[in-house]
């Protein structure tokens, strides 16, 4: 069974060293990158016996859509740096595993081509630029391509200081460009974001989004119960508990460590998703037990894409989904709604 770890090792063999650092790295001393994975490592799940669980159901329903398994691909920029097909390859691989793809504002392939590669309507991850006309154009292009949900990333008023990229003087490989943005100089992600991102955004951005689109908006980058509450008040259709894979605030908490308090605050009013450090099916069940309706997987998908293209993405996601089902049987969890916090033992308390 292909694992996230095996794909990480395989990707390390084939990837350019600076690109590898761009993917693996995080902000500052990379505390939050490590914290995400360590939080999952510290979890133990309580096995239950003779439960008669049989074949578990991994199905779920998110924003009115049925999902085969509670796993989506996290938005990540520039898949064309890893595979010529870029997001088209990722979308078709994810489709074979029954997983939706959240497409980055900085996708390297056109939204229409990505949507055509999958039977599952993609979601658009949105950065709200200072130039709202560009933001609006991105939304309209995605809507025209049949995208169904907006994911507004709110943890990036400025880009985290990624020291590996600074040391390497990181530049995107030649020919790697955002396919859905007007022409510009994107070669240095940190320099581009400094000029293009709006550091003054506040919750009224959701009013603006609602005034220009009827698509539901999820807010990605929530790490505090108070912010989940404010997101719902501002009209968000859901929240994504995320620290951007440790790429923004070095001392952000592990996402798993704040999940339960956020899920408690949301109290079923909207879906709660989580990303950061999800590597195995057992991680997915731990997150579900602590209140996540679904999870997103980031770096392992890029590793699989770099190592084996579309086929790798499918194999990775199928393996995680199968492992989720295995874990559900061994813990007597017949369906995701049966995943309760008592399933999890040894969870570190947030510090």
Nearer to ligand FNR, 70 or 276 (CB): 276
- Answer yes or no: 303 catalytic: no
- Could you give the 3-state DSSP secondary structure of residue 344? strand
The distance of closest approach from Cβ of residue 23 to ligand FNR in the complex, given in angstroms and rounded to an integer, is: 5
Q: Are residues 76 and 93 in contact, defined by beta-carbon separation less than 8 angstroms?
A: no
Q: Please give the structure tokens belonging to residue 261.
A: 């308090």
Nearer to ligand FNR, 153 or 310 (CB): 153
Parallel/antiparallel/unpaired status of strands 71-73 and 65-67? unpaired
The distance of closest approach from Cβ of residue 301 to ligand FNR in the complex, given in angstroms and rounded to an integer, is: 8
The distance of closest approach from Cβ of residue 306 to ligand FNR in the complex, given in angstroms and rounded to an integer, is: 11
Parallel/antiparallel/unpaired status of strands 65-67 and 123-126? unpaired
Parallel/antiparallel/unpaired status of strands 60-62 and 65-67? antiparallel
Nearer to ligand FNR, 124 or 330 (CB): 124
The distance of closest approach from Cβ of residue 161 to ligand FNR in the complex, given in angstroms and rounded to an integer, is: 15
Angstrom distance (rounded) from CA 21 to CA 275: 20
Helix axes 281-289, 255-266, angle to 10 degrees: 40
The distance of closest approach from Cβ of residue 47 to ligand FNR in the complex, given in angstroms and rounded to an integer, is: 26
User: Which of 79, 192, 244, 303 does the annotation list as catalytic?
Assistant: 244
Nearer to ligand FNR, 95 or 165 (CB): 165
Nearer to ligand FNR, 76 or 231 (CB): 76
Q: 126 has which bridge partners?
A: 152
Nearer to ligand FNR, 67 or 127 (CB): 127
Q: Exposed (0-12), middle (13-18) or buried (19+): which is 224, by Cβ within 10 Å?
A: middle
Q: Please give the structure tokens belonging to residue 268.
A: 């079923």
Q: What angle do CA 53, 55, 61 make, to 5 degrees?
A: 100
Return residues touching ligand FNR (CB under 6 A).
22-23, 36, 74-77, 104, 106, 125, 153, 220, 242, 244-245, 247, 275-278, 297-299
Closest residue to ligand FNR: CB criterion:
298
The distance of closest approach from Cβ of residue 310 to ligand FNR in the complex, given in angstroms and rounded to an integer, is: 18
| Sign of the torsion formed by the C-alpha atoms of 201, 350, 346 and 336 | negative
Q: Please give the structure tokens belonging to residue 344.
A: 């999890």
DSSP letter at 185 equals -
Catalytic residues: 244
């Amino acid at each position: 069974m292909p694992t996230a770890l095996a794909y990480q090792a395989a990707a390390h063999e084939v990837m350019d060293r600076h690109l590898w650092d761009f993917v693996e790295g995080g902000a500052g001393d990379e505390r939050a990158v490590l914290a995400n994975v360590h939080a999952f490592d510290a979890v133990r799940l309580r096995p239950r016996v003779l439960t008669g669980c049989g074949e578990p159901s991994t199905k779920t329903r998110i924003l009115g859509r049925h999902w085969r398994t509670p796993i989506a691909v996290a938005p990540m920029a520039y898949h064309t740096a890893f595979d010529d097909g870029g997001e088209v390859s990722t979308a078709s691989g994810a489709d074979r595993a029954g997983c939706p793809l959240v497409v980055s504002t900085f996708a390297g392939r056109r939204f229409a081509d990505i949507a055509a590669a999958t039977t599952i309507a993609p979601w658009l991850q949105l950065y709200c630029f200072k130039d709202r006309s560009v933001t609006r154009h991105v939304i309209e292009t995605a809507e025209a391509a049949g995208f169904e949900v907006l994911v507004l990333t709110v943890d990036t008023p400025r880009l985290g200081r990624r020291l590996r990229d600074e040391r390497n003087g990181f530049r995107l490989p030649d020919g790697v460009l955002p396919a859905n943005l007007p022409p510009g100089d994107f070669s240095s992600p940190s320099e581009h974001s400094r000029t293009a991102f709006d550091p003054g955004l506040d919750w009224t951005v959701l009013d603006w989004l609602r005034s220009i689109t009827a698509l539901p908006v999820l807010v990605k980058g929530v790490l505090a119960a108070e912010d989940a509450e404010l997101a719902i008040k501002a009209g968000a259709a859901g929240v994504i508990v995320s620290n951007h894979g440790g790429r923004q605030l070095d001392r952000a908490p592990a996402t798993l460590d704040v999940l339960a308090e956020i899920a408690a605050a949301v109290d079923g009013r909207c879906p709660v998703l989580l990303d950061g450090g999800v590597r195995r099916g057992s991680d997915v069940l731990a997150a579900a037990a602590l209140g996540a309706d679904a999870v997103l997987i980031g770096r392992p998908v890029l590793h699989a894409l770099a190592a084996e293209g579309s086929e790798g993405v499918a194999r990775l996601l199928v393996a995680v989904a199968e492992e989720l089902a295995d874990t559900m049987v061994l813990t007597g969890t017949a369906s995701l709604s049966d995943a309760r916090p008592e399933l999890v033992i040894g969870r570190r308390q947030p510090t």
